[in-house]
Structure 1
Amino acid sequence: MSRSPTHLPALAMLALAATPAAAGDTRFALMLQNDVVAGNDGGGYSNGIALSAMRSVAPGEDAIPAQWLLAPVAPWLGLGPATLTVSSLNQTMVTPSDLARKIPDPADTPYIGTLWFRAAQVSVRGAIADLLALNLGMVGPASGAKRSQILIHSLTHSERPQGWDSQLPNRALIAVDRYRALRLASGGAGDDRAAADLIVLGGVSVGNLQSSLGGSLLLRYGSGLQRSYPTALRAVSRSADPIMLGRGWFVYGAVHADRVFWNLDVGDAARLRESQVTAVAGLAYGWDDSSLSFSLQSTSPLTTLASRRKSYGSLSYATLWR
């Protein structure tokens, strides 16, 4: 995921400023993802960036006001009082393996750039957590992905991509995610000593870019696991990493699987796979006012004609707003 270097910061501040003041702790987070970390460039998901404002319950609180954009519909979709809300701007880019071609091989992964605003809410009731998210944005040149990747590649002295003019024309992007998770823990409630838990998660995503049914298994070991449980649902999509809320740490491994029922047409020869499997290994560390997360991710090929898995790294930093 990646953002336009010119208009993205202004859009980010505009969107985040629209979030009304409320109870709870507010954190701002920046996530950077890039495939160069895993030793490759192109051939699928390439890189990205996400800027988020997160509000979570403060010590002694049971709930916070609902996410402003989701408040009218959250109760109708089975969500209880909010435990975590997120407003974020995200940009993603997908590229073929041969960046030197101005007209990409039709059998290769296509150029796809997206830019969207994501409103998400997590409600936790004991061991059960529910996620509702709405994504609104653009696919195509308006995403700014071309300029972003050219800038990133110039900074990293990587090969300049030549085929961005072949990407799909501008289209509106809209999607709704609804997931539920169950936490199985080995430690007691509120236990900050080292312990382990297993999070089982499943749900659906419906939108004009892709509609899918997915499930995840997330195994964590560390401290403060219950306190940071709401952030684990951020791993539903590539747009976020699990983070630590407050002081503590954990290491984790996860497997995500999706069955795709519909997706955006990407060309005559290349077709997106109907099944996607992603493996993740990462760690998160939290201080009183900030946290840092890092993960390595490996996903199955994006298209039916590709055979090589795609790997990339993800780094997230979050800081508490006082």
Structure 2
Amino acid sequence: MKTIKILLPIFIYILLVDLSYAQSKQNKKQSLIKPVVEPPIEVERTTPNNPDQYQLRLIMENDAFGGFSDRYYTNGSRLEFHMSAGESNPTRKVFSYWNDLFITPNEKTRYLQGFAVGQEFYTPTNIKKADVSYGDRPYSSRGYFTNSLTTFTEDTSITTELELGMIGPSVGGKSAQINFHNFIGSPTPQGWDTQIPDSYSVALKTDIRKFYHRFFGTQYNVNLGNIQTDVSFGLIFRFGNVDKTPGPGSSALQPGSPILHEDGKGYWYFYVNPGGTLQAYNATIQGQMGSDKAYKSQNRSSAFSNWDSFLNNPTPDVGEKELQYRMLSEDNGKNTLQRYILFNEFLVNGTTNPYNIGLNYLIFNNIFNGAEEIERTTRLFLLSNLSAQWDQIPTNARALAIYSIFRPEGGKLPPIVRYYSYEVLSQFILDPKQRETLLQLLREEAEYRDNKTYIADLKRAVGFIRAGFVSVSNAGFLFGLHYNYQTIDFQAAKGLPQQHQWVGFQLGKVF
């Protein structure tokens, strides 16, 4: 929402500049003609097949629309305005050189200039955690403004757009998703403070759709930029009351052409669009180019995962211990119970740890479980356990327990709280010298991670299938309903979902 507030004035300004430019050219032409001479007829404006046209289109997508799991690409929205582009239109003069490489212009070729604002939000699998889980997708949000040209004939559309925007907290993904989730009664996302940091973006995108038969066509999409660089190809099968018109695009991720419509010629169709994408770069997964504020760890290990090596105190069972601690640290968002059993087995039973489940679970949650949000019923259960042992709990552990249960929603766990969690736990499993050394290592680790953002590995090949319904009435009203299925676009940890689904719709009107 914040992105739209920032980019909308730019959108309106550029639109007014283009309109005023076109008007001034028209006035100049008319001033050069003597009053006694009738003005020449502009074929482009009066030909019935090429009337002037203005249109609006809105695309909205969300995994909540279909009742699917809230993860990965979780929300996208895009608002567009398009208008006929005459020969003197600056955007047409620039972009038509590129578009005309893919089409042979004729007397029926039409041109539409477009402006759009949009935003996209991405989240990991488990939004209840303040940390991003091992091998999961980072939080990221992207906002942008575009200027485009669509060139189309009766069976082909080429849309090329120049995009300017940004990625990062300034886009407003945190507040937008928290407010939306509070409105619909969904869990509050906890990890937005870990999102990919601010960076400006620029991109050039081209979408080509060609129909060889009214029921069959192909789609190509190329993105070049410092946020995303990829190439997509797809087949389009459709059935309905439609000729070879390419029709409008369907997804906010690949919006394609706007509403292609002639007065009195409505159409409707169902479609299936399988395809794939090859990725070269994706900043919403990998972070900004050249950034020193990102880190990547294949097992999201903590100092506890190899503390024997750090302390230079090898033992015969060091390999077994490291394996146990690594399994504790490898949080994929879905294995909390299994890792808590490991924690209880190796760091509670058989040690001098005197605490019951109340404090031990909070320590486990802060150190090994990504500071996951505690449900209300669990919170009451933990409070009951803590109250039964309150007199035996040290002062620093009391403060840790109260903060951990009632900490503010929607923010990351402060490094000092994680540090105190290590301190409370380590005093019962290490001797004083080992403990002092370990806590110094933890201070350094906390400082390192607090200044960096976790990123993930890119998955080069991504498959998708889209299906839906499109209707454009005789009067130019657009309605579309779209289902999207996609394999994941990052290298996920074992056990994480390997696909994602969402539903979108689009509304529009030609004037």
What is the TM-score normalised by the length of structure 2?
0.53
> Is the aligned partner of 1:35 residue 2:35?
no
- Shift of residue 71, structure 1, vs aligned partner: 3.5
- Shift of residue 316, structure 1, vs aligned partner: 0.7
> Is the aligned partner of 1:90 residue 2:109?
no
What is the CA deviation profile of residues 251-277 of structure 1, one whole-angstrom value per residue up to 9, with x for unaligned ones? 111023111123332551421211111
Determine the structure 2 residue equivalent to 1:317.
507
Determine the structure 2 residue equivalent to 1:272.
458
Bigger shift: residues 251-260 or 116-125: 116-125
Determine the structure 2 residue equivalent to 1:74.
96
- Shift of residue 85, structure 1, vs aligned partner: 3.0
**Residues 34 and 78 (structure 1 numbering): CA distance in 2 closer, same or farther, change over 3 Å?**
same
Bigger shift: residues 104-113 or 127-136: 127-136
Aligned residues: 299
**Residues 66 and 55 (structure 1 numbering): CA distance in 2 closer, same or farther, change over 3 Å?**
farther
Q: 1 or 2, which has the higher helix percentage?
A: 2
Q: Distance in 2 between matches of 1:201 and 1:289?
A: 24
Q: Distance in 2 between matches of 1:99 and 1:150?
A: 11
* Amino acid paired to 1:318: G
* Amino acid paired to 2:234: S
What is the CA deviation profile of residues 28-47 of structure 1, one whole-angstrom value per residue up to 9, with x for unaligned ones? 12221110122224321001
**Residues 87 and 309 (structure 1 numbering): CA distance in 2 closer, same or farther, change over 3 Å?**
same
What is the percent sequence identity of the aligned residues?
Answer: 19
State which structure, 1 or 2, has the greater radius of gyration over its C-alpha atoms: 2
Determine the structure 2 residue equivalent to 1:197.
215
What is the TM-score normalised by the length of structure 1?
0.82
Determine the structure 2 residue equivalent to 1:163.
191
Q: Distance in 2 between matches of 1:207 and 1:255?
A: 25
SS of 1:38's equivalent? coil
Determine the structure 1 residue equivalent to 2:236.
218
1:22-61 correspondence runs (5 A): 24-55=52-83
**Residues 64 and 248 (structure 1 numbering): CA distance in 2 closer, same or farther, change over 3 Å?**
farther
Q: Distance in 1 between matches of 2:464 and 2:90?
A: 31
Determine the structure 2 residue equivalent to 1:139.
167
What is the CA deviation profile of residues 46-99 of structure 1, one whole-angstrom value per residue up to 9, with x for unaligned ones? 01211110235xxxxxx7458744632431564556533321101000001111
Q: Distance in 2 between matches of 1:77 and 1:317?
A: 26
* Amino acid paired to 1:163: G
1:291 to 431, 454, 478: 478
Determine the structure 2 residue equivalent to 1:183.
211
- Shift of residue 164, structure 1, vs aligned partner: 0.7
> Is the aligned partner of 1:15 residue 2:11?
yes
* Amino acid paired to 1:217: L
SS of 1:36's equivalent? coil
Q: Distance in 2 between matches of 1:66 and 1:219?
A: 37
Q: Is the 8 A contact 2:60 2:504 kept in 1?
A: yes
Bigger shift: residues 291-300 or 17-26: 17-26
